[in-house]
Structure 1
Amino acid sequence: MLEQVKQQQNAYEEIYAPEQKSEFDFHITPDPLTRYLRDRRLLKSLEVLKDFDADYKNWSVLLTCGGVGGEGIFFKKNGFADVTVSDISENSLKICNEFDPTIKTIMLNGESLDIDDNSYDLVVVQDGLHHLPRPVSGFTEMLRVARKAVIVIEPYDSLIGNLIGTEWEVQGDAINYVFRWDKKTFTQVVKSYLLKDYAPIKVLRFWDHGLAVSKLASKFPKSMQLSVAKLIYTLFSPFNFMGNMFVGIKIMKPGE
C-alpha cells in the first residue's frame, strides 16, 4: 500500500471514529429537504439506467469509497436488494452496519479493489474518487469490476469550480489533489482501458450546491422548504451546461 494511501486510511479512521457517528445522521434522516438534496444526483443517474434495463433494480451494486454508507442506504431505499458498501476505513463500515445492518460491507482500497473482474453488475462512486491519490486508477478498477454499468459522480472540471473549489484536500498528515472530471477526460480513460469497444457513455452536467440551497430554503417555513429547493434548481437548469457537478455513466457491453 502506498504511504499516501496509508496516511489517508489513518486520517479517515479518525474522521469516522465511533464518537463522530452523530455527524453522519443526515444519511438516514427522513427530512424531505435533506433527502432531496442528498439523493438528487443519484436519482438522475438511475433515470439513465432505467432507459437501459427495466430490470436494473435486480442488479448487484458495489459502492466504492462508500464511507458510512449513505449511497448504500439510498440504493436500499430505492429497491435494490443486493448492496455492498466498500471503504478503506474500518470505522466507517462499522457505522454503516449500525445505520443499516442489511447492507453488506467490505474493506477495500478504492485504488486497488481486491475482488475479481465482473464481480458486480453496477459499481458506483459519489464524491469519492477525488479523495484518492490516484483517482484514475480508482475509476479503471470500477470498470474492471463492473458487469453492466459504472456511475461516477464527482466535481466537474469547470472554470467556476476551479476558481471557488478546493485544489488540495488535507486530512491530518494526508494530502491529495482534488481531481475534477469532464466528458473528455472520462471518455479518454474509458477508451484507454476498454479500447475500441468503449461505447455507450452518458455524461450529465448540472448545478449542485446542497449546502447553499439548504441554507436558503431553511429560511422559509418547513412546509415550503422542499418546494423552494426544487424551484432554485429549476431556475438554474437552463445554465446546467456551466454546472459544477459531473455524472458519468458507462454502460458495459456484453463481454467487456
Structure 2
Amino acid sequence: MDNPLEASYSRQRVHGRDMDLPSCYTAPESVDNWRHNRMRANALPLLQACPGSTWLTIGDGAYGSDAHFLKAHGANVVASSLVADRLEVAQERGYIDSFLEINAEAIDTASDSYDFVFCKEAYHHFPRPPVALFEMIRVARKAVVMVEPQEQTGALNGLRTFIKRVLRGDTTTEYEPAGNYIYRISVREVEKLMLAFGLTGLAYRPFNDFYWGKYANDAAGAGSHGLRVTRAGIAVQDALGRLGLMGPGLCCVVIFKTRPDAAWVDALVAQGFRMRSLPENPYAKA
C-alpha cells in the first residue's frame, strides 16, 4: 500500500504546478486582489508595531503573493512553499527578495529563526496540520499568524455551503482538488494545541469573505458593481452572524511565543482582534 502521507505531498506538488500568476501581479486593482489583501491586512498591526521585522511565509506557492504584500509593508520576508518553481519565477521578476523550498511539516530551519511566521489559506491544505503548526511555532521568535477557514457553526451554515456550491460549481466542500481534506481551524482547537506546547498568549479575529468568480476580475474602485456585490455578500454574512445564525467563515489567529508588548496588543485590539490569556502549566515550572 502506498504511503498516504507521501501520496498527499505528491498530489500537492503536481496540483500547484499549473497555477497562474495571482491577481496581485496581473490585476492589482481587481476585486480578487482586494479580497486577498483584506485577509493579509490582519498582519498590519504587527507589521506597523514591529517595523523591519523578519517574516517567513508558509505555503506561499502562489508566486510568493503573501511575501510580496508583507514586503510592500516594510517586512524583511522570505517566501516558502513545498515546491519552489513559482517562487523562483517571482524572485526573477522582482516580486519577492528570497525564498526557500519548505515542507511545512518538517521545516529545515533552526528554531527562533524569524520574528514572525505567516500562513494564509495554506494550513488547511496540509496532510497533518497540527504537525505543521508545531513547526511554525518552533521557527518563530515572537508569533505565528494564520488566516484560515474556520470550523462552521450556526443554523444557516448549510445555506452558505449550498450557495458556495452553486456559485463556484463545487462538488464537495470537504476535500480540495489536490485530494487533501480541508482542515478548518477553530479557536478552541488552536488553544488546545497551544496548551500542549506551553503557550499562553492568543489573539484572534473572526471575519467573513465572499467570492463569486464572475466578479473576480472587476475593478475594485468606486462604483464597481463587482465590489458592491462582494461587500454585500460579506455584509449579509456579518448580519446573520450578529443574529447567531451563521458563524464567520474565516479567522485570523496570532499565537504568541513571548509576552506581547502593550503596543502590539493595542494595535491588534484597534483592528478588531480579541485577546485571550491561557492558563500556565503549574507542573512545568522549575
| Interval containing the TM-score (normalised by the shorter chain) | 0.7 to 0.9
In structure 2, the CA distance between the partners of 1:95 and 1:7, relative to structure 1 (3 Å rule), is farther
**Structure-1 residue corresponding to 2:191:** 187
3-state SS of paired residue (1:180): coil
C-alpha distance in structure 2 between counterparts of 1:143 and 1:220, whole Å? 38
C-alpha change, 1:240 and 1:142, in structure 2 (3 Å) is farther
Answering whether residue 174 of structure 2 is matched by residue 167 of structure 1, we say yes
| One-letter amino acid matched to 1:114 | D
- CA distance in 1 between counterparts of 2:98 and 2:217 reads 35
- Measured after TM superposition, the shift of residue 31 of structure 1 is 1.3
Change (3 A) 1:221 1:136: closer
Match of 1:87 in 2: 81
User: Contact 2:115 / 2:140 at 8 angstroms: preserved in 1?
Assistant: yes
CA distance in 2, matches of 1:136, 1:30: 33
**Counterpart Cα distance in 1 of 2:217 and 2:138:** 42
Give 1:136 shift. 0.6
Q: Distance in 2 between matches of 1:103 and 1:36?
A: 23
Which digits, 9 at most, give the CA deviation of each residue in 1:46-84, with x for residues without a partner? 23x26xxx541311000011112110111112222x111
Aligned residue among 37, 40, 60 for 1:39: 37
Cα distance in structure 1, aligned partners of 2:176 and 2:143? 29
Cα offset, 1:91, TM superposition: 2.0
Q: Which residue of 2 aligns with 1:70?
A: 65
Paired residues of 1:156 and 1:180 also in contact (CA < 8 A): yes
Which residues of 2 match residues 188-227 of structure 1 at below 5 A?
188-193=192-197, 195=198, 198-209=199-210, 211-212=211-212, 215=214, 223-225=222-224
| Residue 154 of structure 1: aligned partner | 148
Aligned residues: 238
The structure where helix makes up a greater share of residues is: 1
Question: Structure 2 regions of 5+ residues with no counterpart?
Answer: 163-171, 260-286
- What is the deviation of 1:104? 0.9
Question: What CA distance in whole angstroms lies between the structure 2 residues aligned with 1:231 and 1:176?
Answer: 31
**CA deviation string 1:115-144 (max 9, x = no partner):** 111000000101111111100111111111
Q: Does 1:118 align with 2:112?
A: yes
Q: Which residue of structure 2 lines up, in the alignment, with residue 97 of structure 1?
A: 91
Give the alignment's Cα RMSD to 1 decimal. 3.0
**Hey, what's the Cα distance between the residues in 2 that align with 1:247 and 1:190?**
15
Q: TM-score when scaled to structure 2? A: 0.72
Amino acid corresponding to residue 71 of structure 1 in structure 2 = D
Residues 69-78 or 236-245, more deviating: 236-245
Q: Is the 8 A contact 1:125 1:153 kept in 2?
A: yes
Aligned to 2:166: none
Distance 2:126 2:137 in 1: 16
Q: Tell me if the contact between 1:156 and 1:244 (Cα under 8 Å) persists in the aligned partners.
A: yes
Does the CA-based 8 Å contact 1:13-1:92 persist in structure 2? no
TM-superposition CA deviations, 1:69-111 (whole Å, max 9, x none): 110111112222x111111113232233244354211011011
Name the CA shift for 1:43/1:114 in 2 (closer, same or farther; >3 Å).
same
Pairwise CA distance, 1:185: 0.4
Q: Indicate the residue corresponding to 1:58 in structure 2.
A: 52
| Superposed displacement of residue 239, structure 1 | 4.4
